[in-house]
Amino acid sequence: MSFRKWFKFVNSNEFIFGEGGGRGTNSNSSNTTSSSSPSLLKTLSHAFKEKDKIKKSIIADDQIKTIGASFSHLNISTENISSISQLQSLSSLNKNSKQSKRNSFKLDRYSSEKTTPRHSDQYTDLDDDWNADFDNGINIKSSQFLEYPTLRSKKSKQQQQNLYGDDNNTVVPTPETPKSIKEAEEKSALESKYNKFKQVLDESNIDLNKLKKLSWNGIPDELRSISWQLLIGYSPPNSNRRSSQLSRKRQEYLEGIKQVFSVEKEPSTWHQIEIDIPRTNSKIKLYSSEITQRSLERILYLWAVRHPASGYVQGINDLVTPFFQTFLNQYNKDKSISIEDFNPEILTEDELNAVEADTFWCLTKLLEGIQDNYIHAQPGIIRQVNGLKDLITRIDYELSQHLENENIEFIQFSFRWMNCLLMREISIQNTIRMWDTYLSEVNGFNEFHVYVCAAFLVKWSDELKTMDFQDIMMFLQNPPTKDWTNKDIELLLSEAFIWQSLYKNASAHLK
């Protein structure tokens, strides 16, 4: 069988896998073992006894089935899902949670009367309605910094209400009463997934391998902040060290901000950041906020000053936003309001300091693994683009030939895919879900990302083969992903996992 036919065979024979991971089963085959039919007499005699059992078994399924490829590498066993009564119990517990009182945020806390490069003759002020000068530095207060409480197993009712033992940081999900069997199954699976993460995160010494296996299939929103910090290596697995280390790193960030903004800024770097920040997710309300834009400016400028080998490069402004939005989301107590519509003015100064600091250090950790993407000549991106071209030649030779016949070079459309990690092609919510998996993979943002890009390009293969140069370039610059959900991202990730399994160790590939 030729590879092309085999590839079509794979696509037509989808697999079903559960939220807990594990090896999937073919959706077109019948592997369910059923017992032999009882006799008529036996059926009649036990009919009334079995009646109640049959009713209860309707919602006993412990998985939400998703179409995609087998995640056999995760090796996660499924567990029984809690009953619907447990959902109601969780709801009643959450109603007792205390709501923290928030203080209004001061917009002018980092203001300065000194002139900045934006007011110089060399540059044009693109946004004259705010003052972005921070030459006077930050007034670092001696008040306590916000800390993640220690994650330990406790039996108290208060700690059952909140994983962190702190009402200010985590909102336990409150499932609504299911209206149908399908909704009951979905909510039971969500609760089961949450409890699995909670069990891992409650350990005094967190097993990162277990956390990675769970995170590959997506992290609950309420637990994503602490999970990302653990997976990327910013927060220590030992709960006894976590609080003190976070406090120290946040203090170090504020001292760094005070230092770099107390001297004259590097003009070209600061001006480029000023230009890029208003363009970043400009259609989302959260990123149009003045507070958000000032925070991102400080984060990016400090990073650029501390990494002179690369400095600030366009595209890094995109990479900072998933971290900022994820860490900000833990303070959004009103889940009826999307985080993209969240008003950061309700945050206290200490809360915003914590979000900024955590974002800065996690961005630093991310860029450490892909820094050659942003140094002179960007050799990392060139290597990834060449790897994508070789991969497409093996996966879909006809598409590769068509692109070549239309004189399309992979660098023309995939450079942005590597530079911005597909963030210009999919929504930030989709990106956050994708990063759950990237953080669970070895070299997820470097090697695995190439396979995701391959799956992304092959997805549009049939359409692209009918287009000419101009249509192809316009299509790939604005692919139809506006209505994509997490299910679409999970399918993309599963296909990428197939290509990685087939080609990662193949000789002369991606070299």
pLDDT tens readout for residues 361-380: 999 999 999 999 999 999 99
Write down the pLDDT at residue 67: 34
Nearest Cα to 5, choosing from 277, 398, 303?
Answer: 398
d(CA 18, CA 494): 13
CATH code of the domain containing 428 = 1.10.472.80
pLDDT at 118 over 90: no
Nearest Cα to 448, choosing from 340, 356, 369, 365?
Answer: 369
Q: Percent of the chain beyond pLDDT 70?
A: 64
Shared domain check, 333 and 298: yes
- Give domain status of residue 158, yes or no: no
d(CA 327, CA 435): 14
Nearest Cα to 221, choosing from 433, 505, 503, 384?
Answer: 433
The answer to whether residues 370 and 448 touch, using CB atoms and an 8 Å cutoff, is: no
- Give domain status of residue 492, yes or no: yes
- Give domain status of residue 267, yes or no: yes
Shared domain check, 305 and 345: yes
Shared domain check, 403 and 460: yes
Shared domain check, 418 and 356: no
pLDDT tens readout for residues 450-479: 999 999 999 999 999 999 999 999 999 999
Shared domain check, 338 and 304: yes
- Give domain status of residue 460, yes or no: yes
Structural domain total, the chain: 2
Mean pLDDT of 293-300: 98
Determine the structural domain holding residue 267 and report its residue range.
117-145+240-369
Write down the pLDDT at residue 271: 96
d(CA 423, CA 479): 12
pLDDT tens readout for residues 412-443: 999 999 999 999 999 999 999 999 999 999 99
Shared domain check, 360 and 314: yes
The token duo for 50 is: 């079995």
What confidence category does residue 252 fall into, taking pLDDT thresholds of 50, 70 and 90? very high
Q: Is residue 211 left, alpha or beta, with left meaning phi > 0 and alpha meaning psi from -120 to 50?
A: alpha
d(CA 84, CA 332): 27
d(CA 408, CA 470): 10
Shared domain check, 359 and 266: yes
Shared domain check, 392 and 359: no
Shared domain check, 464 and 441: yes
What confidence category does residue 138 fall into, taking pLDDT thresholds of 50, 70 and 90? very low
What confidence category does residue 34 fall into, taking pLDDT thresholds of 50, 70 and 90? very low
* Burial status of residue 310 (CB atoms within 10 A of its CB: 0-12, 13-18, 19 or more): middle
pLDDT tens readout for residues 348-362: 999 999 999 999 999
The answer to whether residues 11 and 5 touch, using CB atoms and an 8 Å cutoff, is: no
d(CA 380, CA 497): 21
Shared domain check, 340 and 321: yes
- Give domain status of residue 234, yes or no: no
Write down the pLDDT at residue 361: 98
- Give domain status of residue 352, yes or no: yes
pTM for this entry:
0.68
Residues 6+ apart with CB under 8 A from 26: 13, 14, 15, 16
Last residue of a domain, one of 346, 369, 392: 369
Q: Sign of the C-alpha dihedral, residues 455, 457, 460, 465?
A: negative
Secondary structure element (H or E) that encloses residue 243, with its range:
helix 239-260
- Give domain status of residue 409, yes or no: yes
d(CA 430, CA 448): 16
Shared domain check, 458 and 435: yes
d(CA 396, CA 458): 7
Q: What is the CA radius of gyration of the chain?
A: 26
pLDDT at 142 over 70: no
| Higher local confidence (pLDDT), 70 or 354 | 354
Last residue of a domain, one of 311, 337, 369: 369
- Give domain status of residue 58, yes or no: no
Last residue of a domain, one of 317, 334, 369: 369
The CB-based long-range contact list for 465-473 (8 Å cut-off, 24+ gap) reads 465/398, 465/399, 465/402, 467/406, 468/406, 469/406, 469/407, 469/408, 472/403, 472/406, 472/408, 472/413, 473/408, 473/412, 473/413
Mean pLDDT of 291-300: 97
pLDDT at 230 over 80: yes
Mean pLDDT (the chain) is: 76
Q: Is residue 141 left, alpha or beta, with left meaning phi > 0 and alpha meaning psi from -120 to 50?
A: beta
